[in-house]
Structure 1
Amino acid sequence: MIELFTAHTAELDDVTREAARALLVEEFVDLTEEDWEHGLGGVHALLREDGVLIGHASVVQRRLLHAGRALRTGYVENVVVRADRRGRGHGAALMAALERVIRGGYELGALCAADQAAEFYAARGWQRWRGPLVALGPRGPVPTPEEEGEVFVLPGAVPLDQDGRLACDWRDGDVW
């Protein structure tokens, strides 16, 4: 039996939190401590099959700056489906749960997608950001051209110029 549920980080018991981390480590061998931390403090979508965790994704609040506005953004992190369960709609179910959270609580959704996931997000209505990207570092704006083409947004009520500059708040590890 497949079970999808959402919970805030604070509501996850230690067993579930560690199972999510183990799944991410198993599927992403280069997962860093910062990568894991980026997905904490928000809402998690979790997918269990017969009591075993097979999928995870989270959305956390970030501030993205665009066209003179600081936008309350639901930023998607740590999306994973166990390799032997992919291609069955599980990723779509996880994202549908997070997209409801984003549409209900944020002005904008955003994520940084690996090349192999770009088509998946685009098919769900996420749009590739075309303009320049920067991170607001401790010493000012830091261009992040290596991320251009990998950042996607889920537009909300705020008008966007997707050829304009988009800036993210600073954080350790990958800023996008």
Structure 2
Amino acid sequence: MTTAPAGRLMGSAGVKMAGMAELRLAHTADLDGTTIKAARALLWDVFDDMTEHDWEHCLGGIHALVWEHGELVGHAAVVQRRLLHAGRALRTGYVEGVAVRADRRRRGIGAAMMTELERVVRGAYELGALGASDDGAAFYQARGWQRWQGPTFALTPTGTRRTPEEDGAIYVLPVATPLDPTGDLTCDWREGDVW
């Protein structure tokens, strides 16, 4: 059993949820080793195809963590990336690692985590973005995220590369920048899945 850390929290002392659950926000730098291990284990438990690169993509930003009876049952993160669109490099809050333990799903945990991360995106970024699975797409659409309809690309060490396998799976949360969702959208480079 992992005990919820009493460490520094972003904003308030945490958000009380229904029952004994509590949602906390913290930057990666403020997470202790036990919390990092619990989050990593949760993601590996939830996703069959989780990789070390996927885990690395979750680090360096703000984590939403849901604790229930001293156990981590939900995790999501928002990290900064640069997406190129219409000749601009947009400071983007990119959502990663949204996971709820199987026995705690359909209880509002995912929605509570996304509410907090969307607040962070709206307050700190020009745009929100994420790559959605087929199972998760309806969840994000119901929250106001918009499916990107145009072609996707990635900046790579060898130049800009088309990413047709990602077309239709990228969702954006417009904040302050006008977007043409039928135009090109290009992500910055990273190891593993670029989107």
TM interval, short-chain normalised: over 0.9
Q: Does 1:56 align with 2:56?
A: no
Q: Does 1:101 align with 2:120?
A: yes
The structure with the larger Rg is: 2
Q: Which residue of 2 aligns with 1:20?
A: 39
Correspondence 1:1-20 to 2 at 5 A: 1-20=20-39
1:110-144 per-residue CA deviation (whole Å, 9 max, x = no partner) reads: 00000000000000000000000000011111000
Give me the whole-angstrom Cα distance separating, in 1, the residues matched to 2:53 and 2:179.
29
Q: Which residue of 2 aligns with 1:174?
A: 193
Secondary structure of the residue aligned to 1:149 is: coil
Q: Which residue of 2 aligns with 1:41?
A: 60
Q: Does 1:77 align with 2:91?
A: no
Secondary structure of the residue aligned to 1:125 is: coil
What's the CA shift for 1:108?
A: 0.1
Give me the whole-angstrom Cα distance separating, in 2, the residues matched to 1:119 and 1:175.
22
1:152-175 per-residue CA deviation (whole Å, 9 max, x = no partner) reads: 000011000000000000100000
Secondary structure of the residue aligned to 1:58 is: strand
Give me the whole-angstrom Cα distance separating, in 1, the residues matched to 2:189 and 2:166.
14
Q: Which has the higher contact order (CA 8 A, sep 6+)?
A: 1
Counterpart residue identity of residue 105, structure 1: A
Q: Which residue of 1 aligns with 2:109?
A: 90
Greater helix content: 1
Q: Which residue of 1 aligns with 2:136?
A: 117
Counterpart residue identity of residue 130, structure 1: Q
What's the CA shift for 1:88?
A: 0.7
Give me the whole-angstrom Cα distance separating, in 1, the residues matched to 2:92 and 2:101.
27
Q: CA RMSD in A?
A: 0.4
Give me the whole-angstrom Cα distance separating, in 1, the residues matched to 2:122 and 2:47.
28
Counterpart residue identity of residue 79, structure 1: V
Give me the whole-angstrom Cα distance separating, in 2, the residues matched to 1:16 and 1:29.
21
Counterpart residue identity of residue 144, structure 1: T
Give me the whole-angstrom Cα distance separating, in 2, the residues matched to 1:101 and 1:13.
22
Q: Which residue of 2 aligns with 1:163?
A: 182
What's the CA shift for 1:30?
A: 1.5
- Aligned identity (percent) is 68
Q: Which residue of 2 aligns with 1:30?
A: 49
Give me the whole-angstrom Cα distance separating, in 2, the residues matched to 1:82 and 1:109.
24
What's the CA shift for 1:29?
A: 2.2
Unaligned segments of structure 2, at least 5 residues: 1-19
